[in-house]
Structure 1
Amino acid sequence: MGSSTNYTCPTSTVTDPAQSPIVGSLSFHQLITIISGACTVFACVLSFYLIFRHATHYSLPKEQRHIIRIIFMIPVFAILSFLSVIWYDGAEYLKPIESAYEAFALASFFLLLCAYVQEDDNERQTFLQTSGTMKQYTAATIGSFQFPVVMIVLLVVTEITQATGSYCETSNSIHFAHIWVTVLSALSTVVAISSVLRYYKALKPTIKHRKPLSKLVGFKAIVFLNFVQTIIFSLLTSNNDLKPTNHITYNDLSIGLPNLILCLEMVIFSIAFLFIYRTQEYIFKASAESAVPLGHGGYQGGFMGFRAYGQAINFLDIIQGIVSVPGLLMSKRTAKKGGKAWVTGPQVSRV
Structure 2
Amino acid sequence: MASNHFSNYEGIYNIVHQPALIVAGCSVLVALVLSLFLIFQHLRSYTNPSEQKWIVAVISMVPIYATESIISLWNPRLSLACDILRNYYEAFALYSFGRYLISCLGGERKVVELLEDESEEHLEKPLLHDSDENNGTEQRSFCNFFWHPCRLGKDLLAIEKFGLVQYMILKTVCAFLAMILELFGVYGDGEFKWYYGYPYMAVVLNFSQIWALYCLVQFYNVTHERLQPIKPLAKFISFKAIVFATWWQGVGIALLCTFRVLPNDGKLQTGLQDFLICIEMAIAAVAHVFVFSAKPYNFVPVSSAHGRVTKETIEATLDIDEGGEHKPAVLKETTTQVEAPRTSVKESVQDIVVEGGQRVVKDVALTINQAIGPVEKGVTKIQKTFHKKTVVSSDDEEEESDIEIETNVTENLTAKESDDNEMV
TM-score normalised over the length of structure 1: 0.79
| CA distance in 1: counterparts of 2:227 and 2:190, whole angstroms | 46
| CA distance in 2: counterparts of 1:117 and 1:268, whole angstroms | 28
Superposition RMSD in Å: 2.9
- 1:90 aligned onto 2:81: no
- 1:216 aligned onto 2:216: no
Answer with 1 or 2: which has the greater Rg: 2
1:189 corresponding residue in structure 2: 209
| CA distance in 1: counterparts of 2:263 and 2:295, whole angstroms | 49
Residue identity in the other structure for 1:317: R
Q: Which structure has more RCO (C-alpha within 8 Å, separation ≥ 6)?
A: 1
| CA distance in 2: counterparts of 1:301 and 1:162, whole angstroms | 47
Unaligned runs of 5+ in 1: 1-10, 245-249, 288-293, 334-351
1:309 corresponding residue in structure 2: 349
Summarize deviations over 1:262-294 as a string: whole Å, max 9, x none. Answer: 10000001001000001121121678xxxxxx9
Q: 1:319 aligns with which of 343, 347, 361?
A: 361
The alpha-carbon distance between structure 1 residues 180 and 109, as it changes in their structure 2 partners (threshold 3 A), is same
Contact kept in structure 2, 1:136 and 1:199, CA below 8 Å = yes
User: 1:171 is paired with a residue of what secondary structure?
Assistant: coil
Q: What is the Cα deviation at residue 255 of structure 1?
A: 1.7
1:162 corresponding residue in structure 2: 182
Q: What is the Cα deviation at residue 147 of structure 1?
A: 1.2
Summarize deviations over 1:100-133 as a string: whole Å, max 9, x none. Answer: 00111111111111111113x4344333334323
Pairing 1:108-187 to 2, within 5 Å after superposition:
108-119=96-107, 121-132=108-119, 133-169=153-189, 171-187=191-207
Q: 1:260 aligns with which of 268, 275, 292?
A: 275
The alpha-carbon distance between structure 1 residues 179 and 306, as it changes in their structure 2 partners (threshold 3 A), is same
Q: 1:284 aligns with which of 299, 304, 327?
A: 299
User: 1:311 is paired with a residue of what secondary structure?
Assistant: helix
Residue identity in the other structure for 1:154: C
The alpha-carbon distance between structure 1 residues 104 and 19, as it changes in their structure 2 partners (threshold 3 A), is closer
Q: What is the Cα deviation at residue 239 of structure 1?
A: 3.4
Q: What is the Cα deviation at residue 223 of structure 1?
A: 0.3
Contact kept in structure 1, 2:9 and 2:263, CA below 8 Å = no
The alpha-carbon distance between structure 1 residues 145 and 219, as it changes in their structure 2 partners (threshold 3 A), is same
The alpha-carbon distance between structure 1 residues 180 and 78, as it changes in their structure 2 partners (threshold 3 A), is same
Q: Pick which of 148-157 and 305-314 moved more.
A: 305-314
Q: Pick which of 278-287 and 315-324 moved more.
A: 278-287
| CA distance in 2: counterparts of 1:297 and 1:103, whole angstroms | 37
Q: What is the Cα deviation at residue 141 of structure 1?
A: 0.8
Q: What is the Cα deviation at residue 331 of structure 1?
A: 9.3
Unaligned runs of 5+ in 2: 120-152, 308-339, 376-424
1:74 corresponding residue in structure 2: 62
Residue identity in the other structure for 1:302: T
Contact kept in structure 2, 1:139 and 1:195, CA below 8 Å = yes
Contact kept in structure 2, 1:40 and 1:78, CA below 8 Å = yes
Q: What is the Cα deviation at residue 319 of structure 1?
A: 1.8
Residue identity in the other structure for 1:311: D
1:341 corresponding residue in structure 2: none
The alpha-carbon distance between structure 1 residues 202 and 76, as it changes in their structure 2 partners (threshold 3 A), is same
Contact kept in structure 1, 2:45 and 2:343, CA below 8 Å = no
1:39 corresponding residue in structure 2: 27
Contact kept in structure 2, 1:50 and 1:278, CA below 8 Å = yes
Q: What is the Cα deviation at residue 218 of structure 1?
A: 0.8
Q: In the comparison of the two structures, how many residue pairs are matched?
A: 307
Summarize deviations over 1:245-271 as a string: whole Å, max 9, x none. Answer: xxxxx4553121221111000000100
User: 1:76 is paired with a residue of what secondary structure?
Assistant: helix
Q: What is the Cα deviation at residue 74 of structure 1?
A: 0.2
Residue identity in the other structure for 2:7: D
Q: Pick which of 220-229 and 165-174 moved more.
A: 165-174
1:63 corresponding residue in structure 2: 51
Contact kept in structure 2, 1:88 and 1:255, CA below 8 Å = yes
Summarize deviations over 1:127-156 as a string: whole Å, max 9, x none. Answer: 333432323212211101111100000110
1:339 corresponding residue in structure 2: none
1:345 corresponding residue in structure 2: none
Contact kept in structure 2, 1:301 and 1:308, CA below 8 Å = no
| CA distance in 2: counterparts of 1:220 and 1:163, whole angstroms | 33
Q: 2:6 aligns with which of 15, 35, 46?
A: 15
1:3 corresponding residue in structure 2: none
Q: Pick which of 73-82 and 224-233 moved more.
A: 224-233
| CA distance in 2: counterparts of 1:21 and 1:240, whole angstroms | 16
